[in-house]
Copies of this chain bind each other. A is one copy, B any other.
Amino acid sequence: MSVTAAILIIGNEILSGRTQDVNTQFIAERLSARGIKLREVRVVPDDEAAVVAAVRALASAYTYVFTTGGIGPTHDDITAACMAKAFDAKLEINAEAKALMQAYYDAKGAEMTEGRLRMARIPQGAALIENSVSAAPGFKIKNVYVMAGIPDIMQAMFLSLEPELAKGKPVLSRTVGGRLLESEIADALGDIQDRYPDVEIGSYPAMGRANPHVNIVLRSTDGEKLAAATELVIAMAKKFDKS
């Protein structure tokens, strides 16, 4: 069975260009390593209608959805309320989340303010995701994992939930690089792709016109076919290499 996933990035700061998203690449790499196919990423603003529509569409289309952003204490953090709405669940103070946060703030000699308590509001029936960095947890509702947007917290949350994800057939990959021009190798590479439909072959030029370089990436769950296709690509690359 193919295990699939989507990422939903929630945040005006990505759409305004203020912040460079780096969460996608982290999650994408971890999923690839686990054999889970990341099939789609969406970025939407901090807007209830947009978040609710996107999470419903993605949750019904893929095995897992991973969301990042919008679970902090400020007024613009609306993700928990959106998830409650999307799945018709009640949003309530989660006793376990509150206790975790209380212990964390007690240890720091800090108060549980109203703003902090907001981070314990979690849809009824959701399971918590540990936040080893700053206590306030993420959560899982249906097949959706809801995580923080700050990269170090998101990464800690992902690593804690990762063991429970189903494993897909691992995707093996090989990369063949060379001083190549895409437009010169296109025909030969297309022929190799036609011969090995079970191997996904991608061609990625690195610019720098004085010194052309192309990386050809081969990916497959079938090690033998991957090896055979890679041999053909290596031979082809040697023929066209400009070094």
Query: Which residues of B have CB within 8 Å of A1?
Result: none
Chain A 4-48 per-residue mask, 1 if CB under 8 angstroms from chain B, else 0: 000001001111111111101111111110000011111111100
Please give the distance in Å from A98's CB to the nearest CB on chain B: 13
Tell me, in angstroms, the Cα distance from A15 to B6 when the chains sit together: 9
A76 at the interface (CB under 8 A from B): yes
Complex-state Cα separation, A133 to B19, whole angstroms? 27
Q: In the assembly, what is the distance between CA of A159 and CA of B202, in Å?
A: 27
- Please determine whether B217 and A75 come into contact, CB atoms closer than 8 angstroms: no
How many residues does chain A have at the interface if contact means C-beta atoms less than 8 Å apart? 70
Q: Find A25's partner among B17, B73, B134, B209 (CB 8 Å cutoff).
A: B17
Q: CB distance B115 to A202 under 8 Å?
A: no
* Majority SS at the chain A contact face: mixed
List chain B residues, Cβ under 8 A from A106.
none
Interface string of A186-205 (1 = CB under 8 A from B): 11011001100000111111
> Does chain B have a CB within 8 A of A243?
no
> Are B21's CB and A21's CB within 8 A?
yes
When distances are taken between beta carbons in the complex, the residues of chain B under 8 Å from A72 are 182, 203, 205
Instruction: Mark A201-216 against chain B: 1 for CB-CB distance below 8 A, else 0.
Output: 1111101010000000
Within 8 Å of chain B (Cβ to Cβ): is A85? Answer: no
Is A176 engaged at the interface, CB distance under 8 Å to the other chain? no
Q: Are B42 and A15 in contact, with the CB atoms below 8 A?
A: no
Residue from A39, A115, A200 having most chain B Cβ neighbours under 10 A:
A115
Contact A190 B15, beta carbon cutoff 8 Å? no
- The contact of A202 among B76, B182, B184, by CB within 8 Å, is B76
Residue positions of A touching B, CB distance < 8 A: 9, 12-22, 24-32, 38-46, 50, 72-76, 113-116, 118-119, 133-134, 150-153, 171, 173, 182-187, 189-190, 193-194, 200-205, 207, 209, 217, 219
Listed A/B pairs (8) with beta-carbon separation below 8 Å: A15-B40, A39-B45, A40-B43, A41-B41, A41-B42, A74-B203, A115-B185, A118-B186
Not counting A16-B29, A75-B186, A75-B189, a sample of 18 additional A-B residue pairs whose C-beta atoms are within 8 angstroms of each other reads: A12-B202, A15-B39, A16-B173, A17-B38, A19-B25, A20-B22, A20-B25, A24-B43, A40-B50, A73-B183, A74-B185, A75-B190, A113-B184, A114-B187, A115-B185, A115-B186, A134-B209, A152-B207
